[in-house]
Amino acid sequence: MKLKLNLRNTGLFLFIGILVFTTLIKGPHAQSLLRPSDSRIVAQGAIIYKQYCASCHGRNLEGERNWRSRLPDGTLPAPPHDESGHTWHHPDKLLFALTKKGTEKFVGGNYKSKMLGFEGILTDAQIVAVLSYIKSRWSEKVRKRHDQINKRSLESK
């Protein structure tokens, strides 16, 4: 049987491809990039966090003092990543992009930040591990609220 590639067949193949792709990405993690319940990933993230993040964001995710007040150079101190901060107010994909690209590059314009991106330093999987570790430290209530933020973020696209 010879298959003629025409517009109808191409459309059918495209439809099947999209169907297969969306089926593959659906499941328990379809709305979340982070894996705070995966102990292996969280353990890896804890090690990476201590090495690359704790010096600014605190060993216990507490951030720097007066993190909402600009410093003389125009930058903000490192915010906490615990429940007292605003990290959990952002969907996974935004947290990932900020961590990878850095705040200045992500925000653009004349925005100044000491938060340099980790692109070229950490792999995508390592960034996910660090963010998963951070999320694992939040209470169940805050984690559920963050899951809802992720869900709304995906629904708006």
28 vs 32, more confident: 32
The pLDDT assigned to 157 comes to 63
For all residues of the chain together, what is the average pLDDT?
Answer: 83
The pLDDT assigned to 111 comes to 86
**Cα-to-chain-centroid distance, residue 81:** 12
Rounded Cα gap, residues 33 and 150, in angstroms: 9
106 vs 14, more confident: 106
| Banded model confidence at residue 16, pLDDT cuts 50, 70, 90 | very low
Phi and psi at residue 20, to the nearest 5°: -65, -45
Q: Given a cut of 60, is residue 3 above it in pLDDT?
A: no
The 10 Å Cβ neighbour count of residue 86 is 11
Smallest Cα–Cα separation from 34: which of 125, 123, 118?
125
Q: Region 118-135: what's the mean pLDDT? A: 97
Sign of torsion, CA 111 114 115 117? positive
User: Helices (H) and strands (E) in the chain — how many of each?
Assistant: 7, 0
| Banded model confidence at residue 125, pLDDT cuts 50, 70, 90 | very high
- Contact between residue 79 and residue 62 where contact means Cβ atoms under 8 Å apart: no
Q: Given a cut of 70, is residue 108 above it in pLDDT?
A: yes
Which three-class secondary structure string do you get for 89-137? Answer: HCCHHHHHHHHHHEHHHHHCCCCCCCCECCECCECHHHHHHHHHHHHHC
| Banded model confidence at residue 154, pLDDT cuts 50, 70, 90 | confident
* pTM of the predicted model over 0.85: no
| CATH code assigned to 32-155 | 1.10.760.10
User: What residue segments make up the domains of the chain, in order of their start?
Assistant: 32-155
